[in-house]
Every structure is written in structure tokens, then in C-alpha cells.
Amino acid sequence: MASERIQKVMAQQGVCSRRAAEQLIEQGRVKVNGHPVSLGDKMDPARDVLSVDGQRVYVPRRTEKYYYMLNKPRGYITTTSDERGRKTVMELMEDVPARVYPVGRLDKDSEGLLLFTNDGDFANLLTHPSHGVSKLYRVTVRPHATEEQIIALTDGVVLDDGTKTLPAVIHVVTDEPERTVLEMTIREGKNRQIRRMCEAVGLDVIRLKRSALGAVRLGMLQPGQYRELTSGEVNALRAAAQKGKVTAQIARNTQANAAKKLMRPHGVRAPKGAVAARRRQREK
């Protein structure tokens, strides 16, 4: 929050008018964080404590951070509001003591683990496409999934927009003549990615449920119910996202170095003095 003139804060808090506040400041009766202030000084309402004649008249309200998981049922859309009057996941979070919002999304016909928070940094960390927190889904497809289709999904497939997915980890849970139940783990978050991956190999998803995000699992939480994450779960998610961030940076650096080598003609030495210059730079 930006700094504001002290007399303005005093007036906003109903202590007195701005003119009266200026007089109190000139009389040396106003302090911020225990230190006397002068006319024209500013304070940060997000951090500073304001007192008059030794009595606190303004204490910053710390916004407590909340972290929840919801077992989203089918039929709800992942948005805070909908002009078409459809059911939203926020209707299931009305009893939460703070205004939270969903982290990522699950489409209307999907179900399972969905996170909510009022911590913007945490949400951005988890949803950044390069951080790669693993997501585990239980996917029922039809018709029967062949070995070739499962291998293709594991290796990565080209989606309808021309992009190719990263490799996935797939386990067959149930294999029947008319359907197959798979557990799929991916590290991306493309729009409707699991459904589009299956469509790319000729499979139709008839049920899709997210079971885990990183080390956080849905467990026995019933559809429509939510619970607060433990501090250990929040820390585990942060750690997974930070690890993915570092891994992605290493991969980008490796790709950049490989590209530089390709651009240099075979057998051509680096310019005179360039090697020594790079050595000096590394030693700094």
C-alpha cells in the first residue's frame, strides 16, 4: 500500500478533521511507531502504528492467509461469478471466514481437488506454467484404450492447437472391453488438457477426477466438502513449485547453450580473448 499523509489517515479513522490533525502534529502529540512526526510526514497504513497522546488510534490490520481444498462435484464451474446463472464453486465456499478464490480450474464436467486461497503469491506460484507441480487424475475413457494409445499419451501428443504435451506417467487401473480407467500424472496446466490429450488419440473421457496436486491428496473428502490445508501441505506445495521453477530455468539455460553451439560454424574458434574474458567473468 502506498504511503499517505498522517493527517489524512487520522481523518479517515475518525480521530479528528485534517486541520485538527495538523494542529496535533505541530504540537508534537502524534507519533508513528513510537517516534514523533512533523507536518508533511507520511506513513504506510499497511505497516505503521499511529498514536496520539500515547494512545493507539490506528493499528494496521494484517490480512490472514487462508488455504483450502474443495472436492469439486460435477456440474459446477470454476469461476467467482457467472452472468448466465450457472452454479459456481464459490457457492460451496460460503462459510469460509475470508474471501478466497480458486487456484487454477476444473471444467464443469470434471470433479476432484481444487485449491482456494487469498494469497496471490501462492496462487501465482502454483499456476505458473513453467513450475510444473504434478497433478494426478483418475480418468475413465471409452472405448477400450489400446497399448499404442497409452504409449502415445505417455510420450506426449500433439493437441488441436498444434502444441505438444510433455511426457505423462500413466497406470492402468481397470481394463475392460468397453472402457479403461487410467491414473494420469501431468506437470502442465493447459486448458482441458486431459480431455484434449485423450481426444488426440481417439479416446472419449466419460469421467475425470483430480485426486492429488503435488503431495496434497484428496483423501476421504466428500464431494462438495472442503477443509483447510495444513501448514505442512502449504509448505510442500510451495517447495514443489519452487523446485519446478529451478528445473525449468536449468532446462532453458541448457537449450540456450545448445542453440549457441549450433549457431557457431564447425571448426571456428571463439574470437581472440573471448575465452579469457569468460573465465574472468566466472571468477568474479
Enumerate domains of the chain plus CATH numbers: 4-58 (3.10.290.10), 63-131+218-230 (3.30.70.580), 134-213 (3.30.70.1560)
Asked whether 73 and 113 are in contact (CB, 8 A), the reply is no
> Which residue is listed with cell 523446485?
243
Task: Evaluate if residue 271 carries a pLDDT over 70.
Answer: no
Nearest C-alpha neighbor of 76 from the set 86, 68, 66: 86
DSSP state letter for 93: G
The 10 Å Cβ neighbour count of residue 106 is: 23
Long-range contacts of 124-129 (CB under 8 A, 24+ apart): 125/238, 125/241, 125/242, 125/245, 126/213, 126/237, 126/241, 127/103, 127/189, 128/241, 128/245, 129/188, 129/189
pLDDT of residue 61: 65
Q: What is the mean pLDDT of the chain?
A: 86
pLDDT band at 260 (very low <50, low <70, confident <90, very high): low
Is 107 labeled as catalytic in the residue annotation? yes
Kindly state the average pLDDT of the residues 72-91: 91
pLDDT of residue 244: 66
pLDDT band at 99 (very low <50, low <70, confident <90, very high): confident
Task: Evaluate if residue 235 carries a pLDDT over 50.
Answer: yes
Contacts of 276 (CB under 8 A, 6+ apart): none
Q: What percent of the chain has pLDDT over 90?
A: 56
Task: Evaluate if residue 46 carries a pLDDT over 80.
Answer: no
Kindly state the average pLDDT of the residues 232-249: 80
Task: Evaluate if residue 45 carries a pLDDT over 50.
Answer: yes
Task: Evaluate if residue 24 carries a pLDDT over 60.
Answer: yes
Kindly state the average pLDDT of the residues 115-132: 85
Q: Which of 41, 44, 107, 119 is catalytic?
A: 107
pLDDT band at 262 (very low <50, low <70, confident <90, very high): low
Ranges 136-145, 240-249, 272-281: which has the least confidence = 272-281
Task: Evaluate if residue 251 carries a pLDDT over 50.
Answer: no
pLDDT band at 266 (very low <50, low <70, confident <90, very high): low
